[in-house]
């Protein structure tokens, strides 16, 4: 079977009129894969894998020439030939490389090689024969010629002397050349005997360069002179003295070893046995060097320290596009601040602030932050009182959302619109990132996660580095720092100096990230700023691999998971009614009317309901709730309850008017609203729904409706509304509170339907309706 290799880089280039010879006995290595010659048809070469596994591939000679010119082909000529048929340089030395020799071996190799080359030159010139007699007679000439091969560089004087010697210069030029000064050559060489050079030259002719190299480095006695009993006691003492967490010095270990040997020798002498030889400092040091460094470091410093210290350091992660790798981590900010804000209290109210922990105490904040490893852009951050799953969840929502509203609210001069769907989300093993809430979010959005080993922050180096930048660049500018420890803090009273509130901290973080950090040159970006790197990737078309999740996907991922009962009116969540044809058909069917619902507090315009094995989007009955935040809706409900605490049914127009007023008031809401984690728990959700919305219902009947007779509106008779009753009028008595008198009932019965209709028409206000004629 043939496989045709197609490469755009090859097809677009002009054909090459060059190549190289490939024989059946050759071997080619292309992209670390070995190939053997399989055949040729015209300009096409067929190559098969050397291991016999895989398909035969075909290459044009032009393609192979380009690969060879790019240095991507290793051509081993005559690889499969027997040694006696190979050329001399390849025989027995096809795998020999001078670079494999150590420094001393190279020195000896080049000394022999220079003398062999000198002999070969003289043989080719017909001056000598490669025999012992001629070589011994020409040792002086061999030394002179060999020195020339050992020179690292040829000087201009050497070139001119060579030209003069061979009469390659005109006579006038030759006279002007300055002759060499007297004195012997500074370069020397250790000449071998004639008999040894004869044998060496013969082996070189037969076996190639490998015959010139020696194996002196493998000679000598490599066995220790220490007896087994001495070796055993020495290593035992080193393990108990040197390889401990006390980390004794080499000097102290030598003392312990000698003390142990003296104690053992005293026992041996008493038993009539030969004493052991006491090792000196060199023997102890040599024994320690033979132990693997990793074992020594684990024993003296611990496993985590050893792994961190001895881990190979490369050039770092290879991230090619934005969103390919996003790291998220938590950090306890080195700052004491007041955990409340006047604007937050005005917006949320005391009750909700107490629920989410913003009660006004002086404490430290936790920051959950996500950073893109390609551009170093910060994609999301959330402030929270304590590390929790909801803060990590909301930080992930910021990663996949536009953050321009918070940048505008802080007055930032640069945008913060960067958002991606991560191809890989990297976190540590913290409880917030292992929780079901965060895990379900990533699974619902199909974001792969990688949780690194605990206690190894280097596996999340980019995320850890941004926290270091915050500590060194931002924290020193603020009042109320806690510093990293008590020694560094000294007499600095963090609690007494705390003057920043929650809104101040949120404002400072946003402005620092958007206007300072994103515009600061980064060393790993080649001097570019994170914002410049992001813009450059977008201009070059280096876009993220996937688009952002849609509204329905975000609702499934970040929405609160609740169960609701389906009724004829649909589903009611927090006083908002949701209905759809699919939900109506489900209600008409058989089976349980309890359904799973996903309710997103950031958009009350719709919910997702699991019906018949699939998620269905069920919109709100009123379009006015599209895009409305749950905290805004809670403020509307509190305002309505303050107006009438006992009222249960509210007309939709009154509710919508209240929504308009509240949205005008919170149009410039607090910066901390979006940065601080204000997620409510399941218990808080149930409590709010029971306290505020259990007795709340909207009357969907509009006051005015068309009668189908052209312009104008007709008022449908209904009970008077106490909130819109004219001033000075009394509210009607509640039904059933006063029993009508018998006279009233008698007059009502005596009145004819025609009289009643006539009176109603006469009393009805005129809205420009055309007059009606009675039959």
Mean pLDDT of 98-102: 73
Q: Could you tell me the residue range of the domain that residue 606 belongs to?
A: 559-699
- For residue 379, pLDDT over 90 is answered with yes
DSSP secondary structure code for residue 472 in this structure: I
- Helix locations, 292-435, DSSP H: 293-301, 303-310, 342-348, 350-355, 389-399, 404-409, 431-434
Mean pLDDT of 648-665: 73
User: Which residue reads 């809670």 in tokens?
Assistant: 634
What count of other Cβ atoms lies within 10 Å of the Cβ of residue 484?
11
DSSP collapsed to 3 states, 186-205: CCCCCCCCHHHHHHHHHHHH
Answer yes or no: is 659 within a domain: yes
- Helix locations, 84-154, DSSP H: 103-124, 132-137, 139-150
With a CB cutoff of 8 Å and minimum separation 6, the contacts of 597 are 561, 562, 563, 564, 571, 573, 607, 608, 609, 610
| pLDDT score at 284 | 92
Q: Is residue 358 domain-shared with residue 419, that is, in the same domain?
A: yes
Q: Is residue 306 domain-shared with residue 351, that is, in the same domain?
A: no
Q: Is residue 576 domain-shared with residue 718, that is, in the same domain?
A: no
Which range, 246-250, 309-313, 330-334, 719-723, is most confident? 246-250
CA pair distance 443, 557, nearest whole angstrom: 8
Q: Is residue 717 domain-shared with residue 691, that is, in the same domain?
A: no
Last residue of a domain, one of 49, 80, 111: 80
CA pair distance 45, 73, nearest whole angstrom: 14
Q: Is residue 590 domain-shared with residue 686, that is, in the same domain?
A: yes
* Side-chain half-sphere CA neighbours of 253 within 13 A: 25
Closest CA to 414 of 565, 273, 521, 516: 516
| pLDDT score at 672 | 55
Q: Is residue 595 domain-shared with residue 684, that is, in the same domain?
A: yes
| pLDDT score at 649 | 75
b/e map of 759-770 (b: 16 or more CB within 10 Å)? eeeeeeeeeeee
- For residue 578, pLDDT over 70 is answered with yes
CA pair distance 13, 19, nearest whole angstrom: 16
- Give residue-wise pLDDT tens across range 134-185: 898 888 888 888 888 777 555 555 555 655 555 555 555 555 555 555 444 4
What count of other Cβ atoms lies within 10 Å of the Cβ of residue 541?
6
User: Which residue reads 């004493």 in tokens?
Assistant: 275
Answer yes or no: is 86 within a domain: no
- SS3 label, residue 696: coil
Query: Between 670 and 320, where is the model more confident?
Result: 320
Answer yes or no: is 113 within a domain: yes
Q: Is residue 534 domain-shared with residue 573, that is, in the same domain?
A: no
Answer yes or no: is 592 within a domain: yes
Crossing angle for the helix pair 551-558 and 389-399, to the nearest 10 degrees = 170
| pLDDT score at 751 | 47
- Give residue-wise pLDDT tens across range 692-751: 887 787 776 655 445 555 555 555 565 555 554 444 444 444 443 444 445 444 444 444
CA pair distance 455, 305, nearest whole angstrom: 10
Mean pLDDT of 299-303: 88
* CATH code of the domain covering residue 469: 3.30.420.10
Categorize the per-residue pLDDT at 108 as very low, low, confident or very high, splitting at 50, 70 and 90.
confident
Answer yes or no: is 772 within a domain: no
Q: Is residue 619 domain-shared with residue 755, that is, in the same domain?
A: no
**In total, how many domains does the chain have?**
6
pTM: 0.54
DSSP secondary structure code for residue 17 in this structure: S
Last residue of a domain, one of 656, 673, 699: 699
Q: Is residue 525 domain-shared with residue 648, that is, in the same domain?
A: no
| pLDDT score at 487 | 36
Last residue of a domain, one of 279, 310, 341: 310
- Give residue-wise pLDDT tens across range 423-442: 999 988 888 888 888 888 99
DSSP secondary structure code for residue 740 in this structure: P
Answer yes or no: is 450 within a domain: yes
- Kindly state the helix (H) or strand (E) to which residue 328 belongs, with its residue range: strand 326-338
Q: Is residue 610 domain-shared with residue 470, that is, in the same domain?
A: no
CA pair distance 478, 498, nearest whole angstrom: 10
Task: Return the percentage of the chain with pLDDT > 70, whole number.
Answer: 66
Answer yes or no: is 596 within a domain: yes
Supply the mean pLDDT for the chain: 75
Answer yes or no: is 618 within a domain: yes
CA pair distance 36, 53, nearest whole angstrom: 12
User: Which residue reads 């010629």 in tokens?
Assistant: 145
With a CB cutoff of 8 Å and minimum separation 6, the contacts of 224 are 231
Under a CB-based contact definition with an 8 Å cutoff, are residues 534 and 522 in contact? Answer: no
* Side-chain half-sphere CA neighbours of 708 within 13 A: 0
């Amino acid at each position: 079977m043939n496989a045709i290799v197609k490469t755009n880089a090859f097809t677009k280039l002009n054909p090459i009129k060059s190549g190289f010879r490939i024989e059946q006995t050759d071997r080619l290595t292309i992209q670390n894969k070995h190939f053997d010659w399989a055949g040729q048809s015209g300009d096409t070469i067929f190559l098969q894998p050397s291991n016999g596994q895989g398909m035969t591939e075909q290459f044009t000679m032009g393609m192979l020439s380009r690969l060879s010119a790019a240095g991507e082909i290793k051509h081993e000529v005559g690889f499969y030939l027997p040694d006696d048929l190979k050329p001399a340089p390849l025989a027995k030395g096809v795998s020999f490389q001078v670079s494999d020799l150590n420094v001393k071996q190279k020195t000896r190799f080049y000394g022999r090689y220079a003398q062999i080359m000198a002999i070969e030159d003289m043989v080719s010139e017909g001056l000598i024969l490669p025999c012992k007699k001629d070589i011994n007679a020409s040792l002086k000439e061999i030394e002179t010629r060999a020195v020339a091969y050992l020179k690292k560089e040829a000087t201009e004087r050497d070139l001119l002397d060579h030209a003069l010697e061979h009469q390659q210069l005109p006579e006038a030029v030759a006279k002007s050349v300055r002759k060499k000064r007297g004195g012997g050559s500074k370069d020397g060489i250790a000449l071998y005997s004639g008999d040894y050079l004869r044998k060496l030259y013969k082996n070189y002719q037969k076996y190639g360069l490998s015959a010139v190299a020696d194996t002196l480095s493998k000679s000598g006695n490599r066995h220790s002179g220490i007896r087994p009993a001495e070796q055993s006691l020495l290593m035992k003492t080193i393990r108990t003295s040197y390889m401990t967490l006390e980390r004794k010095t080499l000097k102290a270990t030598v003392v312990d070893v000698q003390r142990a040997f003296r104690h053992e020798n005293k026992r041996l002498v008493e038993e009539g046995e030969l004493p052991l030889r006491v090792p000196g400092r060199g023997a102890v040091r040599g024994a320690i060097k033979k132990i693997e460094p990793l074992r020594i470091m684990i024993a003296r410093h611990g496993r985590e320290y050893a792994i961190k210290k001895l881990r190979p350091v490369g050039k770092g992660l290879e991230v090619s596009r934005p969103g390919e790798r996003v790291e998220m981590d938590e950090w306890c900010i080195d700052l004491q601040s007041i955990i409340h804000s006047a604007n937050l209290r005005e917006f949320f109210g005391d009750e909700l602030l107490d629920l989410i922990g913003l009660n006004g105490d002086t404490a430290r904040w936790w920051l959950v932050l996500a950073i893109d490893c390609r551009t170093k852009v910060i994609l999301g951050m959330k402030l929270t009182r304590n590390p929790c799953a909801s803060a990590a969840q909301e930080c992930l929502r910021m990663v996949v959302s536009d953050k321009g509203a918070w940048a505008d609210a802080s007055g930032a001069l640069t945008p913060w619109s960067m958002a991606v769907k991560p191809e890989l989300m990297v976190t540590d093993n913290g409880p917030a990132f292992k929780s079901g809430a965060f895990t379900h979010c990533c699974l619902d959005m199909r974001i792969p996660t990688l949780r690194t080993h605990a206690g190894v922050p280097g596996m999340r180096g980019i995320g850890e580095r941004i926290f270091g930048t915050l500590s060194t660049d931002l924290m020193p500018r603020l009042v109320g720092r806690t510093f990293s420890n008590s020694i560094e803090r000294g007499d600095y009273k963090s609690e007494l100096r705390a003057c920043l509130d929650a809104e101040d901290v949120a404002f400072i973080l946003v402005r620092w990230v958007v206007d300072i950090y994103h515009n600061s040159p980064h060393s790993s970006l080649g001097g570019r700023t994170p914002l410049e790197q992001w813009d450059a990737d977008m201009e070059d078309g280096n876009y993220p691999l996937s688009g952002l999740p849609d509204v329905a996907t975000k609702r499934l991922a970040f929405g609160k998971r609740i169960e609701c009962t389906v009724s004829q009116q649909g589903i009611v969540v927090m006083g908002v009614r949701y209905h759809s044809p699919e939900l109506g058909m489900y209600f008409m069917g058989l089976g349980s009317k309890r359904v799973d619902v996903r309710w997103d507090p950031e958009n009350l315009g719709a919910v997702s309901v699991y019906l018949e094995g699939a998620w269905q989007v069920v919109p709100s009955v009123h379009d006015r709730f599209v895009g409305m935040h749950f905290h805004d809706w809670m403020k509307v409900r509190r305002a309505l309850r303050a107006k009438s605490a006992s009222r249960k049914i509210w007309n939709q127009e009154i509710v919508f008017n209240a929504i308009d007023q509240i949205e005008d008031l919170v149009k410039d809401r607090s910066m901390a609203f979006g940065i601080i984690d204000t997620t409510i728990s399941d218990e808080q959700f149930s409590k709010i729904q029971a306290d505020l919305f259990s007795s709340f219902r909207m009357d969907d009947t509009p006051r005015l409706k068309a009668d189908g007779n052209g312009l104008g509106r007709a008022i449908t008779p209904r009970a008077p509304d106490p909130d819109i009753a004219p001033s000075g009028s009394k509210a009607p008595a509640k039904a059933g509170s006063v029993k009508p008198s018998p006279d009233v009932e008698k007059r009502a019965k005596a009145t004819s339907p025609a009289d009643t209709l006539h009176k109603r028409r006469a009393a009805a206000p005129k809205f420009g309706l055309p007059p009606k004629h009675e039959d």
